[in-house]
Copies of this chain bind each other. A is one copy, B any other.
């Protein structure tokens, strides 16, 4: 499979922005540095989140990005649905099967139903975690590592 890591990129960027609760703007350059990527790619990924109301972009000098709503209200399901738009983890037949066969007549719609259910289960798990949850766990991991190093 060649699935895209745009969801991972978007979640990372949103958590990065969530660090500034006041909603200060961060540039795509700054976000790209955290991702070890480049600003144009970040703008492309965040552009979709902007269209769907997850982030706000401000143009011009001193412009940049901020969350459009509290990090508690953005779940991984929201991000996945937007970043990897209609991504289907379990595609059905590439083209319709043979209708002269009883399996061919019915398997396509059965699989559509089964695979949609499975995808929904995945998305419901994603919906249980918010950007705020992840940021909290980032900070917790960081404190744990500092403590382990004896600071």
Contact = CB atoms under 8 A, between A and B. Distances in A.
Contact-size category for A: 35 or more
Contact of A106 (B8, B76, B141): B141
Interface stretch (A51-59, A60-68, A93-101): A93-101
Count of this chain's copies in the oligomeric assembly? 2
A114 interface: yes
Contacts of A110: 134, 137-138, 141
Nearest to A7: B90
A122 interface: yes
Interface of A: 1-5, 7-9, 11-12, 15-16, 19, 33-36, 76, 80, 84, 87-98, 101-107, 109-111, 114-115, 117-126, 129, 134-135, 137-139, 141-142
